[in-house]
Chain A
Amino acid sequence: MNFSSFGYLIKEGFKNIWSNRMMSLASIGVLISCLVLTGSAVMLTVNVSGIVESVEGQNVTTVFLDENLSELEAVYIGKTIEKVDNVTDATFFPKDEAIEAYREALGDEVFANMTGDGNPLPHAYHVTMEDLSRYDETVDALMAVDGVASVSSRKAVAEKLVSLSSLITMMSFWIILALAIISLFIISNTIRMTMFAHRFEISIMKSVGATNTFVRIPFVIEGVVIGLVSAAASIGLLAVLSDAVLPIVSDILKLDYTPFSEVMWPIIGAFAAAGIIVGSLGSMVSIRRYLHHEGNEILGW
């Protein structure tokens, strides 16, 4: 195909959009809705994962050592605790500090005689885990350390966080899949309408010897342009929405958030690719019928 043919076909693709502008606009509107919802699902997933990671970082499990251990022995056991797999940090929490904390919270009278040898609390470590989904095995490993008496259970919190994150990821996947199918359907219907309007030209094209590729190109261009315009508008809209909503939610929850600008480029890439793929696939699906029909069949006569 020479340059002037290609230029002509691109021009025809844009002319198709203009001549079928109401339907094209409707498709762009629906596609923008689908892409913004998809983008929102992505932003939600990214932010919930970020929150889970942040809470995981803050999540401190207390490991209580055997009673009657000296401070020196407790420090020695701490070296072993630090080496346990999945433990990122182990901070020593001596029993004197623990009783002091209780005294500040509950009053001097109750804990007046509980200092020195009279302190009933054991030495402890505040342990941070890297991956909360491995909570059980890490607790088992900690319990196996000689001198460890018990581990405070935060299992429920850990499990809830991990399952929330998985749920959101899974829901996002299904939402994105459903919206991709809807988008494909919308684009293919738009192109089908354009093709119906151009069936007369298509029948002439085929009768004078145009190849199927030649007939197909303007419609594929139409689909791709609709997809790309929708992608560009969705990116802009998503950026505005993210910048408006995320700081407010973050302020209410007192949690850090991932701004749109940090994940912008992968989203732009994914939306542009989605626009091109959905646009070209949608038009390919619609044009099949016309390419397999001949003469008056194309015109429905």
Chain B
Amino acid sequence: MIEFKNVSKVYSSNGAHALHDVSLAINKGEFVFIVGSSGAGKSTFLKLIMHEEEPSSGTIVVNNMHLETLRRSRVPYLRRTMGIVFQDFRLISKMTVYENVAFAMRCVGKKNSTIKKRVPYILDLVGLGDKANDHPSELSGGEQQRVSLARALVNNPAMIIADEPTGNIDPEMSYEIIELLSEINKRGTTVLVVTHEHELVKSFNKRVINIEAGRVISDSGSPDDYIAI
């Protein structure tokens, strides 16, 4: 699913070493927390997976696509295999909840008839079936993040990447969001959650990859291992 081999990333603009010789593999169906302090290289790690950045050295394979040889015109098709959840939700304020989710389907050329069937189903899945006609400003932070999650899920991606999904919501809602992601993972979708909320990570028995100063300093199968390091 995701394979990094000796990946390093140096930003040419400021010479910053964001990642040093990172090698890891994340298999299909896994739920993985990526943790680390601010500036540790977590965002760069995600950008490399999404092919928003290219590595300075090393090789990356995502969903069977070798990113170093991936043509520019194929990048959208790589992104269709993943759903992205942002910390700041990134919802379009002038659109309703339904339209925000449908937008993701329109962008990949889905037919109106498919959209009409799929969007209500996904909104029910994230518990927002009754909020379809509301605008994002009428929703709580937790609900907005659920809309963002619905948009990420609606094109049935093989993998969900959540970048600090609980950063802008209260602890109770945060737990619910991770719970929801866990439910989605149980249905077979690979889930990658970037967070710095240690308490939240400890609450779920999942694999934890700890990145600090651009290096993977631990890669554990359980939260206990993570705490030990």
| Known contacts A210-B76, A212-B73, A295-B47, then 12 further A-B pairs from the complex at CB < 8 Å, ordered by chain A residue | A1-B109, A5-B110, A8-B106, A201-B103, A206-B76, A206-B79, A207-B50, A208-B107, A209-B77, A209-B79, A294-B47, A294-B53
**Residues on A facing B (Cβ under 8 Å):** 1-2, 4-5, 8, 200-201, 203-212, 214, 294-295
Which residues of the partner chain B approach A295 to less than 8 Å between Cβ atoms? 47, 50, 52
By beta carbon, the residue of chain A nearest B46 is: A295
The docked-state distance in angstroms from the alpha carbon of A1 to that of B79 is: 18
Q: Tell yes or no: B151 within 8 A of A by CB.
A: yes
- Is A4 a contact of B112 with CB atoms below 8 Å? yes
A35, B133: Cα distance in complex, Å:
45
Contacts of A2 in B (CB 8 A): 109, 111
Query: In the complex, are the beta carbons of B111 and A204 less than 8 A apart?
Result: no
In contact, A208 and B108 (Cβ under 8 angstroms): yes
Which residues of A have CB within 8 Å of B79? Answer: 206-209
B90 contacts A by Cβ under 8 Å: yes
Instruction: Please count how many residues in chain B sit with their CB below 8 Å of the partner chain's CB atoms.
Output: 25
Q: Flag B103-133 by CB within 8 Å of A: 1 or 0 each.
A: 1101111111000000000000000000000
- The listed residue (A1, A4, A209, A294) touching B80 by CB distance below 8 A is A209
| A49 CB, min distance to chain B CBs, angstroms | 49
Closest partner residue, chain B, to A7 (CB atom): B112
Whether B104 and A208, one on each chain, are in contact in the complex, defined by CB atoms closer than 8 angstroms, is yes
Contact B103 A204 (CB under 8 A): yes
A204 vs B147: C-alpha distance when bound (angstroms): 14
In the bound complex, what is the Cα–Cα distance between A272 and B83 (angstroms)?
Answer: 43
CB closest chain-B residue, reference A294: B52
Q: Are B107 and A210 in contact (CB under 8 A)?
A: yes
Q: B119 to nearest A CB, angstroms?
A: 14
> Within the complex, which residue of A1, A8, A201, A210 is in contact with B92, where a contact is CB–CB below 8 Å?
A201
Query: Does B84 count as interface, using CB distance less than 8 angstroms?
Result: yes
* Contact pick for B107, options A4, A200, A205, A294, CB 8 Å: A205
- Measured CA separation A210–B76 after assembly (Å): 6
A188 to B50, CA, bound (A): 30
What's the nearest-Cβ distance from chain A to residue B141, in Å? 18
Can you sample 25 A-B contacts with CB below 8 Å?
Answer: A1-B109, A2-B111, A5-B111, A8-B106, A200-B90, A201-B92, A204-B107, A205-B107, A207-B84, A207-B90, A208-B80, A208-B108, A208-B151, A209-B77, A209-B107, A209-B108, A210-B76, A211-B73, A212-B73, A212-B76, A214-B107, A294-B47, A294-B52, A294-B53, A295-B47
B155 within 8 A of partner (CB): yes
**Using Cβ atoms and an 8 Å threshold, which residues of chain B touch A211?**
73, 76
